[in-house]
Chains A and B, each alone.
Chain A
Amino acid sequence: MTVTRGNVDHSTSRPRKPLSPGALWLAALGVAGNAGANTSNGYNLPTGVTDLARDMYGLHMEVFWICVGIAVVVFGAMIFALVKFRHSQGAVADTSMLHSTRVEIIWTIIPVIILVVMAIPAADLILKQEDTRNSQLSIRVTGYQWKWEYSYMDAAEGVDFFSTLARDSNFARQQNSGIDPKSIPNYLLEVDHPLVIPSGTKVRLLLTSQDVIHAWWVPDFGAKRAAIPGFVNELWFRVDPGKEGIYRGQCAALCGRDHGFMPVVVDVRTPDDFKKWVDAQKAAVKQAALPAPGAPAPVAAAPPPTAQALPN
């Protein structure tokens, strides 16, 4: 199950990339109904896999079409004028109408009405986004130059690990590495240890930073917030049940040399699978603590197949 998910994800999210026979075979095997994928079509916002992301997409399209409507009218008038009132075609300027209070009031009032129409659903969505009450799982996310630390709270208290760029991407992204980025699955969007969360659960992230300002962003969740030293920012999302899979994003605030190389990868599992994963993590932490007490516990057991055993 886990194996298929990882591979299906990379083949569906990047249809342009030539697929290896193995990946094709796995994709054919995996029923893949729940494969996580980037839900953007390559030129528009992702439709998303959370309530919030869908609402954002809906509002985005609404405002977009209003703008298109205004553009058709305004650009239409301009183009009509450019075609109709040409000096070369013998047009004579009509200098009689130099201002008209009535027209000017009309084209002040109409935009105000349009803006109010946009602002009402927007205000609703703000209130929804900011309502982090009754979350079922909280995770502390700490930004570092250039990696993320995920510290679980609530039922998964004690699970804590770092998430850095996957090794093959890291090799390929070196200057003149000679490695074709297209040959790397999920180039720059893969990490050693992804954040694992349960689906159908209201997850609250508490974001902060240890050095400079970073921003945590997964477009498919509609979740972006800055991680600022000395501050704790909050955001929440609930991934739809049935949309388990791998979702990818990136740091979204310039944070120095490797700003482009600190991806965010989230592995969404069913609540049952998540519980199993948490138990395995806790067991691993306990085991690691036995021989060398006090040493930081690396995440070991049951990482997803794409994970690399990289030291942080």
Chain B
Amino acid sequence: MAQSQATNTAQHSDHAHDDHHHDQPATGIKRWIFATNHKDIGTMYLMFSLIMFFIGGAMAMLIRAELFKPGLQLMDPVFFNQMTTNHALVMIFGAVMPAFVGLANWMIPMQVGAPDMALPRMNNFSFWLLPFAFTLLLSTYFVPGGMAAAGWTLYPPLSLQTGDAFPMLIFAIHMMGASSIMGAINVIVTIMNMRAPGMSLLKMPLFAWSWLITAYLLIAVMPVLAGAVTMLLTDHFFKTSFFNAAGGGDPVMFEHIFWFFGHPEVYIMILPAFGIISEILPTFARKPLFGATSMIYAIASIAFLSFIVWGHHMFADGMPVAAQLFYMMSTMLIAVPTGVKVFNWTATLWRGSLSFEPPMLFALSFLFLFTIGGFSGVMLAIVPVDFQYNQTYFVVAHFHYVLVPGAIFAIMAAVYYWIPKWTGHMYNMTLAKWHFWLSTIFVNVLFFPQHFLGLAGMPRRIPDYAVQFTDWNMVSSIGGFCFGASQILFAVVVIQCIRGGKKASALVWDDARPNGLEWTLPSPAPYHSFTTAPDVK
């Protein structure tokens, strides 16, 4: 045993890999089922996320179709509630989070100069939990009582009225949580142990940094969610009364526990986006990121603050004055590090030399539209007025601004930025620019009017509405259909790029200023990114 290990080590040090079957991808389906390579697993995460994006998007299209005009034309209110609930679950846990994990898998080893992720078999497991989790979640459509319809926040007592879907939903959430925790552990172990010699933490690229902090958030809060849904499960099946007022329990306690997970969770969905934007803007501004160190501190402060603001989701649920004041101030404080990030990005553009390739276009769109979501966020933090915004379309507009042109545009920017490195091919720039312009225009047609609807008094999560809300709902639905249709272009560009195209150079963006270890590798990057640790000065 010891001997064979020694031989192995010797082989590695000799770079005598020829007889090593891991050097080449396995062929056929085995390559994917038994995948331990960070690129293969990253690809699977990203493809899975794309499929979930279209499934969650289809649910959103149904929602917007029903809301096109007043009256119930297409669906029963229960089905509508199932769609809003599962749209959120699929988009959050199926589309956005796996996309970021996929990007981490692809990019972190390349950015820190490692051959692979630290724990490849766990990597395999954490991916393969997801298809099962989502098959289970989506199959609840066929069980008595239908899919979960209590909102993705699963507030009891309403969520306890879910039919046979209930235990399936909770098991699915447990699997997603386990998957996320393993993904996070892998990121932390890789970054802590496998950085190339000379790469101190502060020299590490911003994307890896943002993921390091995100991974700690994941490890901190996913068990909290698991605890909350397990308590729901025992309340439902084993006669406990954690959240049942009649049994001495407390339904508001669920909200506290849920949002203690839920608020860090929303930053889990945005911090890697911050990292991506901090990689792309300097490249196409042809100048290094302004204040890189303070950007890292800003991400860390946001992550810390995310643990002490959860009460702002619950102002209308009744809260002592002192708690209202505390959560208002702590929430407003988040605007400070977020402001630093936006200002630093702007300063990065300042006196740069800007060109507008698709990744840059999406990054700039992120910069403007995420900031709009930030403004409505500050407004929502003002407790006394939040009573008017709470549970209305104003909130829907706010979080879709930070999640769609925020998180999702950042993911698309990242794919457009790095995909030539992954496939070795350039993609169809014209089509990608069409995708950008249609997305950016229609995302605003879709979500901007929802601010007006909320302020004018339309509650969220209703399948039918009073007639004075008709006009803005129609505008929003038209925007929604066009936005949804535009995303087909994204799939087309990606698939074309995988299948072929103009050969990409090692730098990919020769004309710009890509910076980082990943650009020292050829395109497509070799199967084991860095077999010899690069020298970092």
Contact = CB atoms under 8 A, between A and B. Distances in A.
B388 A222 contact: yes
B352 A225 contact: no
A104 B294 contact: yes
A257 B81 contact: yes
B428 interface: no
A87 B464 contact: no
Interface in A11-27: 13-14, 16-17
B452 A42 contact: yes
Interface in B141-185: 149-151, 155, 157-158, 161
Interface stretch (A156-164, A210-218, A301-309): A210-218
Given A77-B346, A85-B351, A85-B354, A63 B382 contact: yes
For this complex, into which size category does the number of interface residues on chain A fall?
35 or more
Interface in B461-494: 461-468, 472
B23 interface: no
B251 A228 contact: yes
A127 B292 CA distance: 41
B150 to A, nearest CB: 7
Contacts of A91: 352-354
A153 interface: no
A312 interface: no
Given A173-B71, A230-B251, A107 B340 contact: yes
Given A78-B346, A87-B286, A226-B316, A126 B71 contact: no
B364 interface: yes
Most buried by B among A86, A173, A254: A254
A81 interface: yes
Interface string B314-345: 00111001001100110011011001101110
A130 B367 CA distance: 38
A78 B455 contact: no
B368 interface: yes
Contact of B318 (A45, A67, A228): A228
B388 A224 contact: yes
Given A78-B346, A225-B318, A126 B472 contact: no
A140 to B, nearest CB: 15
A32 interface: no
Contacts of A14: 467-468
Contacts of A142: none
A134 interface: no
A29 interface: no
B304 interface: no
Contacts of B285: 85, 93
A283 interface: no
Interface stretch (B54-62, B124-132, B371-379, B518-526): B371-379
A134 B435 CA distance: 60
Contact of B384 (A41, A77, A125): A125
Contacts of A250: 457, 459, 462
Nearest to B383: A126
A297 B502 CA distance: 80
A119 B384 CA distance: 10
Nearest to B157: A212
B77 A60 contact: no
B370 to A, nearest CB: 12
A285 interface: no
Given A70-B375, A181-B70, A188-B464, A81 B350 contact: yes
B255 to A, nearest CB: 9
B321 A127 contact: yes
A224 B316 contact: yes
A56 interface: yes
Interface string A149-190: 000000000000000000000001111110111100011110
Contacts of A56: 384-385, 387-388
Interface in A80-112: 81-82, 85-88, 91-95, 97-100, 103-104, 107-108, 111-112
A43 B157 contact: no
A212 B77 CA distance: 17
Interface string A110-127: 011001001100110111
Contacts of B367: 78
B72 A176 contact: yes
A45 B332 CA distance: 21
Interface stretch (A192-200, A258-266, A268-276, A286-294): A258-266
B336 A115 contact: yes
A255 interface: yes
Contacts of B333: 115
Contacts of B343: 74, 104, 107
A254 B339 contact: no
B465 to A, nearest CB: 7
A104 B346 CA distance: 12
B73 interface: yes
A230 B250 contact: yes
B459 to A, nearest CB: 5
A87 B251 CA distance: 57
Contact of B70 (A16, A60, A63, A187): A187
B269 to A, nearest CB: 21
B433 to A, nearest CB: 14
Contacts of A75: 368, 371
Contacts of B347: 103
A38 interface: yes
Interface in A196-246: 211-213, 215, 217, 219, 222-226, 228-231, 233-234
B456 interface: yes
Interface string A50-65: 0000011001100110
B262 to A, nearest CB: 15
Given A67-B375, A175-B76, A182 B250 contact: no
A203 B200 CA distance: 63
Given A129-B387, A219-B388, A228-B252, 14 more contacts: A67-B379, A112-B336, A115-B336, A119-B332, A126-B384, A128-B384, A174-B72, A186-B466, A187-B466, A217-B391, A217-B459, A231-B252, A254-B81, A257-B77
4 pairs of A and B residues whose beta carbons are closest in the complex:
A230-B245, A260-B462, A43-B452, A125-B384
Interface of B: 70-73, 75-78, 81, 149-151, 155, 157-158, 161, 245-246, 249-252, 285-294, 316-318, 321, 324-325, 328-329, 332-333, 335-336, 339-340, 342-344, 346-347, 349-355, 364, 367-368, 371-372, 375, 378-379, 382-385, 387-388, 390-392, 452, 455-457, 459-468, 472, 513
30 contacts: A14-B467, A41-B456, A44-B452, A74-B371, A77-B346, A88-B355, A91-B353, A93-B286, A93-B353, A94-B351, A99-B292, A104-B294, A118-B378, A130-B321, A176-B72, A177-B72, A187-B70, A188-B466, A189-B466, A211-B157, A212-B157, A217-B459, A222-B387, A230-B249, A250-B462, A252-B391, A254-B151, A255-B158, A256-B81, A259-B77
